[in-house]
Amino acid sequence: MWLKRTWGGIIQQWVPVTECPNCHAKTEVEKVEMTPEELASLFHAYYEEEAVKHGWKTQEETRVPFDSLPERNRDTMISTCKRILEVKK
């Protein structure tokens, strides 16, 4: 289960329930089920951001929005995320 943190109606971040026991007062928290596609898209965005923070570059063809990734890359990430989400069921 994931929590969607919003502030002013804008999604600020997705966090696992276990990481958000007491959310900030100005933050609305909603329990949501995340689809494999949503998790893969979020993972891709965070992965690209973290790569920059850690001082290295990802492959140029993958430095694009999730929906613009090569189909095989996108499908692999979605199927991997599906397996991850099924672990908790």
Q: How far apart are CA 35 and CA 21, in angstroms?
A: 22
The pLDDT of residue 20 is above 60: no
Q: Which is more confidently placed, 73 or 29?
A: 73
CB 45 within 8 A of CB 69: no
pTM above 0.75, yes or no: no
Alpha-carbon distance 29 to 20, whole Å? 9
CA 17 to chain centre: 14
Whether the per-residue pLDDT at 31 is higher than 70: the answer is no
22 versus 36: the higher-pLDDT residue is 36
pLDDT of residue 72: 94
What is the C-alpha to C-alpha distance for residues 13 and 2, in angstroms, rounded to an integer?
10
Domain edges within the chain: 2-32, 36-87
Choose between 13 and 49: higher pLDDT: 49
